[in-house]
Amino acid sequence: MKYFLFLNHPKGEEVYRVSEEREEMLREHFSRVNILETEVIMRGKRYKAIVDYTAFSNLANFDCFRCQDPCCADNPVIYEKVTREFILNNIESYNEKTKNIDILLESGYEVEEIVESIKKDSCMVPEETVENEISLCTCSFKPNNESVLCSLHSMCLEKGLGAKDIVEKKPLVCSLWPIDIISEEDESLLYITVPDDFTTGFTIEDYYDTPCVNRELTQSSKFRRKNPKGFLEDEYVPLIMAYGETLKYSLGEKFCNEVKERLLAENLIFAEELDIEEKQILKK
């Protein structure tokens, strides 16, 4: 099995391959939870999917602007052509945020080499500079001394682009994190879940210390000492709502509607919650 969202990771199988132990845990998990068999659409391609739909009622709060965790600590994909073209067309804004162009110029690279690198290199900077001169994800930037944000997302907002365009310009894994998608070896079937507070064991990361999906963690004195203003308890809402537009444009409207219908039918979310206007992806 494979971690589907990481299939295009620069490190290849080292990252996306699911161990036999975790595969066994995954299959056991999906054999005992309520599932929805549906279809998702990613990057214009249709996939059959089994969804751990009750997990989408888990409370979440994607408070990126007040987060101190460097989620963007890795280059998760070999970047797509649409992302490279977007950066080249907005290179001044990209450099203003990331300082990548300035760093490479200071390191002795010529402008022509930098442009060629954005067009062709896996991480859009020369390989020898990744995690050396240029740390964290090459599309990340720090607007202050705490938060780490996505330059692609911010550039889209500055240009007045909507949710659909943001999802298109960013790597899919960045839009969907921390949702986990695991595929059969031939990618004929996808398994979709949301890690819970204590992780489901087979997910690609340990999410217990991730405040986005662990409200209980954020109520601890230890967390509050580090982050007194962010991740307020009353700002947590069901994930299907918190990520509404993101999920619609990442996985398809059919997926979103079917998950909501199941959750409503089982009283895992309530009709009044559907009035929450999804703003997460459009926050500035």
User: Each residue of 79-134: pLDDT tens digit?
Assistant: 999 999 999 999 999 999 999 999 999 999 999 999 999 999 999 999 999 988 88
**What letter would DSSP give residue 197?**
T
90 near 155, Cβ under 8 Å? yes
> For 180-201, what is each residue's pLDDT tens digit?
999 999 999 999 999 876 667 8
- Rounded to an integer, the average pLDDT of 243-266 is 94
Q: Is the pLDDT of residue 222 over 70?
A: yes
pLDDT confidence of residue 226: 87
DSSP H or E stretch at residue 181: strand 180-183
Pairwise CA distance, residues 51 & 36, whole Å: 5
pLDDT confidence of residue 279: 60
Q: Which two tokens stand for residue 185?
A: 């070896």
- Rounded to an integer, the average pLDDT of 121-150 is 90
Q: Is the pLDDT of residue 157 over 60?
A: yes
> For 43-59, what is each residue's pLDDT tens digit?
999 999 999 999 999 99
- Rounded to an integer, the average pLDDT of 193-217 is 83
Q: Is the pLDDT of residue 277 over 60?
A: no
Pairwise CA distance, residues 164 & 173, whole Å: 15
Per-residue pLDDT band for 275 (boundaries 50, 70, 90) equals: low
Nearest residue to 47 via CA among 7, 99, 93, 97: 7
Q: Is the pLDDT of residue 274 over 80?
A: no
Per-residue pLDDT band for 4 (boundaries 50, 70, 90) equals: very high
pLDDT confidence of residue 173: 94
